[in-house]
Structure 1
Amino acid sequence: MHTVGSIFSNEILRTSILAWFIAQVSKMILVLIQSRKMDFSRLVGSGGMPSSHSAFVMSMCVAVGEQMGYDSPFFGACLVIGLIVMYDAAGVRRAAGKQAAVLNKIIEEIEHDELHFEERLKELLGHTPIEVLVGAVLGIVIALICV
């Protein structure tokens, strides 16, 4: 019989969460090194180096591959989903971030004419291809160490 508590014994899930957490902490450390400011929002924020989405899904892929075999249908399904997530992070979400930057610039120009907007749009949404690649490598390495 399976209990809710047994989810914590799932090695694939634990490995994936660990990869995500390490990627998020890495972002915070990189911001600290670059700006000499502690930015705790980087622990949960999207975008930046390395891609925690890529680390998360690639650690899942490799953990499934190590446990169930790289020729298993489960690994194939995980890899397809992982590639979609990484493509989205470097493509669609990055484009949305660029659009937000343009809109924020337009808003700044409009605000000089007495109109004021409540908040700026979030610009750091997606990733550069190198951020995705580094996140993927981080996830692979963590999974190979943990599983």
Structure 2
Amino acid sequence: MTMWNEFLGNQILISAVLGWTVAQFLKTVIDMVINKSFNPERIFGSGGMPSSHSATVCALTTASGMKYGVGSFEFAISFVLSMIVMYDAMGVRRETGKQAKLLNSVFFENILNLDGVFLQEKLKEYVGHTPLQVVAGAVLGILLAVLTGKLY
């Protein structure tokens, strides 16, 4: 029982997990409203609005700053990690999604008249984020960490 008390007493970890959970829930709901259908891949998948990666690392960074101060090494490590994750989401991962979309259209819409043997399934197109999705995730993570901090 002590392990669960320690786990639930870890404000920084709970803030980060809450950031990811709420962002994934919102992402799923937003996708359902836009596409008028439920896509179970959205529950755990990457990409989409808001960025759960950004929400997670910004909640982690904010909680670290609130608990240890912005001059601490905990905050510094969290901040650098956040910058890398958000930059990657808007850069490399976003470009990967664009390339997957193009390849899927080439191979599965018979632009090259292939019979689908080359690729057995479509490549994942939702892997990166637009700057707006990253900012929305960051704001969500910061707000959740502040709200969680009030509970501790």
Report the TM-score when normalising by structure 2: 0.88
> Residues 36-66 of structure 1: CA distance to partner in whole angstroms, max 9, x if unpaired?
2122221100000000000000000000000
Unaligned 5+ runs, structure 2? none
> Residues 99-137 of structure 1: CA distance to partner in whole angstroms, max 9, x if unpaired?
111111221236634353311111110000100000000
SS in 1 for 2:136: helix
Q: 1:36 to 1:115 in 2, by over 3 A?
A: closer
Judge which range, 47-56 or 67-76, deviates more.
67-76
Structure 1 residue 8, shift from structure 2 partner? 3.5
Q: Give 2:78's aligned residue.
A: 78
Q: Give 1:112's aligned residue.
A: 113
- Rounded to whole Å, the distance in 2 between the matches of 1:25 and 1:72 is 32
8 Å CA contact 2:90–2:134 kept in 1: the answer is yes
- Rounded to whole Å, the distance in 1 between the matches of 2:3 and 2:31 is 37
In structure 1, what residue type is equivalent to 2:115? E
Judge which range, 97-106 or 46-55, deviates more.
97-106
Q: Give 1:54's aligned residue.
A: 54
The two structures, once aligned, show a CA RMSD in angstroms of 1.6
- Rounded to whole Å, the distance in 2 between the matches of 1:91 and 1:31 is 22
In structure 1, what residue type is equivalent to 2:47? G
**Equivalence map 1:1-147=2 (5 Å):** 4-5=3-4, 6-108=6-108, 109=110, 112-116=113-117, 117-147=119-149
In structure 1, what residue type is equivalent to 2:73? P
Stretches of 4+ moved more than 2 A in 1? Answer: 3-9, 108-117
Percent identity, please: 42
In structure 2, what residue type is equivalent to 1:112? N
Q: 1:114 to 1:77 in 2, by over 3 A?
A: closer
In structure 1, what residue type is equivalent to 2:124? K
Aligned residues: 145
- Rounded to whole Å, the distance in 1 between the matches of 2:145 and 2:116 is 51
Q: 1:114 to 1:144 in 2, by over 3 A?
A: closer
